[in-house]
Structure formats: structure tokens, C-alpha cells
């Protein structure tokens, strides 16, 4: 470890060859400080050289606006395009894909490669620059989507789907990781919802594109035109995303002016999660799988992805069973995108209004239960009732995004965050595989077994949400005891559910409280960029 003097204070430049759980650095008062990582978070080194950074609310808004333009917008573009490419199969199934390629049942929906590729994706997210990893996969799946038009049988389509799943597998974990890297916890929910809304936009525009392309019969089949159109659009947007998307706050070119980079990093201290350390830490992997939250989140994800995987793959065929032709089915599917967007807007509004996450997700989960139950019980002659029930059931589109937002606020440490979410994504992929398998071809167009399984999954999800709410409250009580034993304020409020004004007022109040009790405010943020996990950092607050 080497240090240098800056304003008569020692500043850490480099740390190497030390034990990950017992690393020690020198403080200005001569005491020793334990950190959890083998390599200090890159942001820590930059802030250490610069010292304390003062900035105004206007500075914060200006930097945040830049981050939204250069990070959030490309994420929205990529996520929308990914859903368009993924949805090309479902749209093709409404036309002539199954008949032309000889598919039966749920053969056309294969997501197993996403599950298999998650370990590689997790490792790559830590050790590779995130921009280049995302762009590689973006370009690759665009090409694969175009090449899917050449598939004329199950074998060819299976190969294309396996490759597409492999390249798409990393995008959601990457975006969750990027969100944690750039925005405060208070801001993360809005940005997560933003790219999930982009996902819902694909459900709105995808059927419209398929409707237009489906009329083309010159030289190619309708499903081939859909693949070529979706893949070509995806490939055309690659240069724009490449130009905008940065690797991290420590290297982003758009933060070169003045103190913008320092401000972007300083704002993240309140997260207590750091930005990114490029060293894979096995101690954080072991902690991930000793953490009960990991398994609870995983169970939630399989309970929500099983229904969404089934209905997502068979929604077009369900609608077609309501006596619509292929073109009518495509148009009737368009409102599902609007429903997803409205659900997310209402969900994030309710979250900030009620200052809670678990209750909002629980209430939203009740809607698809009611919708699916109605579809199972209404006569097929009641088309208005069936359509209303179908659209109510599609409120399910809001569950997964709000779960992403909740889950990614409750883990810290670069490796632990990546492994935690990748584990959850594995179970999500498993649900996407299981979901279509319970939609039996012999039951078409009713698919009662699939709908009953979906209702059961949502019911279990409600129980898991309640259990997670009480477990996180238990962890916060343990954190309070730990802080008190270290001379820190035991009771801290969750600023991630406060408005900017409320958070600012709370910080002032907290500072005054700490000074009145002879406590050092700096102790709250001394581990903010040490790449500690949520178990290791006593200042971490679990979000309920």
C-alpha cells in the first residue's frame, strides 16, 4: 500500500496483496481501519485524491441530467429493442411460424440458454468494462435475430433461439448493476421503471410492426419478415447506443468538465454500496449463498416469471382463442403495453406516496389473480368479459420491474450484488422455461392448467412478499444494534423513499443530532466506497 500527502493528510493510492477480509489502511489519526475488499472501489481512489467535494443543488441536478441522457436513455433503447427481438417469436407464432417450421406445443419458446449462461455473465460483469460487454451482446443478438429468418424447421429455430437467449441473458443483470453504479437509491426506482416502461413500449409497438410486416408475402413468409425487421432495427441502433453508453462514473467522458466526475461520485455516498470494484471476491460469493434473502428473492422471481413466461408466450394464442383472426389478435395485443406502462407509473407513484414497496407489489399481484380466475370461469361467448379479464391479468407486467427495484436496493458489494441478481435471474429463466410447459396444446385455446398454475404462483408470491417485509425489518433492527455498539446513531431512516427536499432536511437533522451527542458524522460514510457487503457495513439500511 502506498500513500501520499494532500492538504497534510495521507491519501490512499493503491492497495495490493492483502487478505480480502482483513485489509488494513492507515487513517490520519494513526488508527487502523478494516475494509472488506482486495481492491478499493475505483471511486474511492478518485475522491481520496480530491478531498471533500462541495456542490449545490443546481450542480446535482445538472450532473443528474447528464447521467440520465448518457446512461438511462441508451438503457431504455437497448431494453426496448431486446423485448422487440424476443417478442418476434410470439408475434411470428400468431402468423405462420408454427405451421411453417412444424413446431408443436411450446417448442417455439426456449429460454434455457439464458439460465446456462448466467455464471459467465456474472463473472464478466465484474471483470470486464460493462459497456463493452453489453455492446458485444447487443450486436450479437441483433445478428442472430436477422439470421432466425433462415430457420425453416425446429432444429434451425432452436439453434437461433439458444444463441439469442445466450446473448440476451446478460442485459437485465447488467442494467441492474449499471443502475446501482450511477444513481442514488432514491433515484434508482425511477430509472428501473424507466427502462421497464421501454420494455412495455415494445409490447405496444411490436404488434404494430408485426401487423404491417405480416401483410408482406412477396418472396418471404410473414414470420421471416418479422425476424428481419426486428433484427435490422436493432442493428441500426447499435452506433447510437455505443456513442452514448459509458463504462462507469470513474471513466465516463461526459463527466470531464469541471468537478462533474467528483460530484457524480460524491452523490453516491449515501447508497453505502460503492460503484464498481473490478476484482471478483469469493468471500462475497459465499456470503451471497449464506444470505436467506438470496433464496427468498429467487423464490419470488420463479413465482412471477412462471406466469409471465407462460402468458407471455401464449398470450397471442389465448387471444386467438377468443375467435379473432391473426391480424385482429395482433392489434388486440397492443393494449398490453399500455397496461404495463400505466401499472408501473401507478406503482412507483404509490411507492413514493405510501413510503413502502412491499405493500404496493402485493396489491398489484392481486390483479392478475382476479383476471386469470375470471378467464377460467367466463363462457367463451362472453368476449367483452374475457377481454377485460385478459387485460386485468396483464397487470402482471408491473410485478417483475417493481421486484427488480426492491431487490437491487437490498444488497451491497460489487460481487455480491452481481451474484445475487444473477442467481435471481437464473430462477427467472427457470420460470420462463416452466411457464410455457404447463400450457398444454391439448387444452388450446383454454389452457386451464397453465392459468391455474399461474394463480398458484401469484398466491405463493404474496406469502413471500409478506415474509420478506418482516425479515428486512429484522435485519434493520440488527443493524441498529451494530451501529450503537460502534458509537454511531442506532436509528437511521431510509432516505431512498424520501423526496429530495425530505432527504436534505433529514440530513441536516441527523447532523445536528450527531453533533449534539458527540458523534462523528464522517463515520456514517467511511465505508461507502470500501466495497463492503450489506452484512459488513453497519451504515447500510435495508429497504422495506
Domains of the chain from N-terminus onward? 57-475 (1.20.1250.20)
Rounded mean pLDDT, 506-533: 72
- Which residues have CB under 8 Å from 56's CB, separation 6+? none
Q: Work out the angle between the directed axes of helices 154-168 and 130-147 (0-180°, nearest 10).
A: 160
Q: Could you give the CA distance from residue 472 to residue 293 in angstroms, rounded to a whole number? A: 9
Give pLDDT, residue 511: 77
Task: Give the residue with greater pLDDT, 50 vs 269.
Answer: 269
Q: Is residue 345 predicted with pLDDT exceeding 70?
A: yes
Task: Give the residue with greater pLDDT, 337 vs 264.
Answer: 264
Q: Is residue 9 predicted with pLDDT exceeding 60?
A: no
Q: Is residue 373 predicted with pLDDT exceeding 60?
A: yes
Q: Which residues of 156-185 are buried (b: 16+ CB within 10 A; e: fewer)?
A: ebbebbbbbbbbbbbbbbbbbbbbbbbbbb
Give pLDDT, residue 4: 34
Nearest Cα neighbor of 543 from 51, 180, 106, 43 is 180
Q: Is residue 101 predicted with pLDDT exceeding 90?
A: no
Give pLDDT, residue 512: 78
Q: Could you give the 3-state DSSP secondary structure of residue 9?
A: strand
User: Which of 313-317, 431-435, 481-485 bottoms out in mean pLDDT, i.e. has the lowest?
Assistant: 313-317
Task: Give the residue with greater pLDDT, 86 vs 116.
Answer: 116
Give pLDDT, residue 275: 59
Cell numbers placing 243: 456513442
Q: Is residue 415 predicted with pLDDT exceeding 50?
A: yes
Terminal C-alpha separation, the chain: 39
Query: How much is the mean pLDDT over the chain?
Result: 79
Give pLDDT, residue 5: 31
Contact predicate 170/134, CB 8 Å: yes
Give pLDDT, residue 268: 80
Nearest Cα neighbor of 425 from 120, 143, 179, 184 is 120
Give pLDDT, residue 24: 31
Q: Is residue 483 predicted with pLDDT exceeding 80?
A: yes
Q: Which residues pair with 5 in a beta bridge?
A: 10
**% of the chain with per-residue pLDDT over 90:** 24
**pLDDT for 283-316, tens place per residue?**
899 999 999 999 999 999 999 999 988 787 666 6
Task: Give the residue with greater pLDDT, 432 vs 239.
Answer: 239
Rounded mean pLDDT, 199-222: 74
Q: Is residue 359 predicted with pLDDT exceeding 50?
A: yes
Amino acid at each position: 500500500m502506498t500513500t501520499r500527502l494532500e492538504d497534510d493528510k495521507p491519501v490512499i493510492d493503491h492497495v495490493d496483496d492483502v487478505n480480502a477480509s482483513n485489509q488494513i489502511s492507515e487513517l490520519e489519526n494513526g488508527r487502523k481501519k478494516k475494509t472488506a475488499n482486495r481492491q478499493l472501489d475505483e471511486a474511492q481512489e478518485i475522491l481520496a485524491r480530491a478531498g471533500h467535494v462541495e456542490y449545490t443543488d443546481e450542480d446535482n441536478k445538472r450532473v443528474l441530467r447528464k447521467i440520465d441522457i448518457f446512461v438511462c436513455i441508451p438503457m431504455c433503447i437497448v431494453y426496448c429493442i431486446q423485448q422487440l427481438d424476443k417478442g418476434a417469436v410470439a408475434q411470428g407464432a400468431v402468423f405462420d411460424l408454427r405451421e411453417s417450421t412444424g413446431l408443436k406445443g411450446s417448442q417455439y419458446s426456449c429460454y434455457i440458454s439464458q439460465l446456462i449462461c448466467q455464471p459467465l455473465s456474472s463473472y464478466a460483469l465484474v471483470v470486464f468494462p460493462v459497456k463493452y460487454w453489453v455492446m458485444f451482446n447487443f450486436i450479437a443478438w441483433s445478428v442472430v435475430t436477422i439470421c432466425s429468418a433462415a430457420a425453416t424447421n425446429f432444429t434451425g429455430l432452436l439453434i437461433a433461439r439458444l444463441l439469442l437467449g445466450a446473448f440476451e441473458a446478460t442485459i437485465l443483470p447488467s442494467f441492474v448493476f449499471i443502475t446501482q453504479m450511477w444513481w442514488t437509491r432514491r433515484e434508482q426506482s425511477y430509472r428501473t421503471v424507466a427502462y421497464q416502461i421501454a420494455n412495455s413500449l415494445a409490447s405496444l409497438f411490436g404488434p404494430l410492426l408485426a401487423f404491417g410486416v405480416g401483410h408482406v408475402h412477396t418472396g418471404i413468409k410473414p414470420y421471416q419478415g418479422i425476424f428481419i425487421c426486428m433484427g435490422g432495427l436493432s442493428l441500426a441502433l447499435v452506433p447510437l447506443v455505443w456513442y452514448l453508453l459509458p463504462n462507469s462514473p470513474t471513466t465516463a467522458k461526459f463527466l470531464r468538465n469541471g468537478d462533474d466526475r467528483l460530484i457524480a461520485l460524491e452523490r453516491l455516498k449515501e447508497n453505502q454500496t460503492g460503484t464498481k470494484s473490478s476484482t471478483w471476491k469469493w468471500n462475497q460469493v459465499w456470503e451471497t449463498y449464506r444470505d436467506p434473502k438470496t433464496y427468498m428473492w429467487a423464490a419470488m422471481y420463479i413465482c412471477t416469471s412462471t406466469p409471465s413466461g407462460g402468458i407471455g408466450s401464449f398470450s397471442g394464442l389465448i387471444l386467438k382463442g377468443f375467435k379473432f383472426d391473426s391480424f385482429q389478435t395482433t392489434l388486440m395485443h397492443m393494449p398490453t403495453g399500455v397496461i404495463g406502462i400505466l401499472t408501473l407509473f401507478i406503482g412507483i407513484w404509490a411507492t413514493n406516496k405510501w413510503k413502502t414497496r412491499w405493500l404496493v407489489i402485493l396489491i398489484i399481484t392481486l390483479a392478475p389473480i382476479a383476471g386469470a380466475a375470471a378467464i377460467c370461469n367466463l363462457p367463451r361467448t362472453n368476449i367483452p368479459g374475457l377481454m377485460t379479464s385478459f387485460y386485468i391479468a396483464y397487470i402482471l407486467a408491473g410485478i417483475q420491474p417493481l421486484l427488480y427495484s426492491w431487490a437491487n436496493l437490498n444488497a451491497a458489494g460489487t460481487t455480491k450484488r452481481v451474484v445475487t441478481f444473477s442467481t435471481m435471474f437464473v430462477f427467472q429463466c427457470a420460470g420462463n422455461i416452466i411457464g410455457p410447459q404447463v400450457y398444454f396444446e391439448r387444452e388450446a385455446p383454454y389452457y386451464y392448467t397453465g392459468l391455474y398454475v399461474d394463480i398458484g404462483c401469484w398466491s405463493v408470491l404474496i406469502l413471500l412478499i409478506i415474509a420478506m417485509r418482516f425479515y428486512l425489518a429484522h435485519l434493520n433492527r440488527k443493524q441498529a444494534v451494530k451501529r450503537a455498539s460502534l458509537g454511531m446513531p442506532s436509528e437511521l431512516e431510509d432516505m431512498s423513499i424520501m423526496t429530495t427536499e425530505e432527504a436534505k432536511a433529514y440530513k441536516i437533522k441527523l447532523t445536528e443530532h450527531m453533533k449534539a451527542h458527540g458523534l462523528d458524522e464522517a463515520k456514517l460514510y467511511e465505508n461507502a466506497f470500501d466495497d463492503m457487503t450489506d452484512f459488513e457495513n453497519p451504515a447500510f439500511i435495508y429497504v422495506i
